[in-house]
Amino acid sequence: MTTTMNRVGLAILARKAELGKGKTRLAKGIGVPQAFEAYKHLIAVTASVTKASQLPCTVIFDPEVGDTDVWPSEYFDYSLQVQSTNLGDRIAAGLEGVLAKVPPSGVDSRASTHALSGNAHGTYRQGALIMGTDCPTLTPAMLQEAAKALETKDAVLGPTFDGGFYLLGVRKVEPTLFDGVEWSTERVADQMIAAFERLGYDYQLSPKLADIDEKEDWEHYLTWRSQQQLNSEVLKDMTLS
């Protein structure tokens, strides 16, 4: 791995796949069993893409660690989401966890994820990225480009077409970073950009992508994916079979 790949870590917010839990809006449109299968597909794609990015990855589970066959410990560290109803709190905690001290060369990074912050001989990560599991058109190259951006930028944001974001990266987490963000609205991405500007951040925007929340999103994705079966370069970039 390059220095950038080692010094920028990636957190992935993921629910344990359970029938009838999660993807509630999607379930209303396509049914609970189908939404469960869709979610299993989304986490499998996310695991494949994040692994291929070669970034140090931590899966932050809710409510408990699960699906370790999808997220093998050879490639992913595990943690648990903080218990808060405020999404900003959960994102901030995930970013701060990634930015925490990492072990020096030669120390097993998987030995004790939670003990790393107390390692006086560790070094702080240069930056942290955080994402969910709802954006299956994200590619390893996009993640690598976002990590590289944090070499010179204070922040990076990957907006979605519905006004949210699929990826956030920072070099540090300011206490007021998420102040005033109206979560689950079409204003989230714009409000994050306003926060960057309020804090004086130099930032970069990643390509705008679609995430999967509603029946129409899932149908559009399936259509896109069937078209990409004819494009081996896209599939190669996404490391999908």
Place of tokens 């990590």: 147
Six-digit token string for 160 = 């979605």
Of residues 77, 79, 61, the one with CA closest to residue 21:
61
Question: Is residue 117 pLDDT above 50, yes or no?
Answer: no
23-79 residue pLDDT tens: 999 999 999 999 999 999 999 999 999 999 999 999 999 988 988 999 999 999 999
Write down the pLDDT at residue 165: 98
Task: For residue 101, name the pLDDT band (cuts at 50, 70, 90).
Answer: low
Residues of the chain with pLDDT > 90: what percent?
Answer: 74
Question: Is residue 105 pLDDT above 70, yes or no?
Answer: no
More confident residue, 233 or 171: 171
Six-digit token string for 92 = 């901030």
Q: H or E element: which one contains 159?
A: strand 155-159
Mean pLDDT in residue range 137-152: 96
Question: Is 163 within 8 Å of 190 (Cβ atoms)?
Answer: yes
Pairing of strands 123-124, 101-102: antiparallel
How far apart are the C-alpha atoms of 110 and 94, rounded to whole Å? 17
Domains of the chain, earliest start first? 3-238 (3.90.550.10)
Cα separations in angstroms, 58 against 29, 193, 235: 31, 25, 24
pTM of the model: 0.86
Write down the pLDDT at residue 100: 86
Six-digit token string for 110 = 């998987």
Question: Is residue 119 pLDDT above 60, yes or no?
Answer: no
Furthest-apart CA atoms within the chain: distance in Å: 51
107-116 long-range CB contacts below 8 Å, 24 or more apart?
109/56, 109/77, 110/73, 110/77, 113/58, 113/77, 113/78, 113/79, 114/79
Q: H or E element: which one contains 128?
A: strand 127-131
167-188 residue pLDDT tens: 999 999 999 999 999 999 999 9
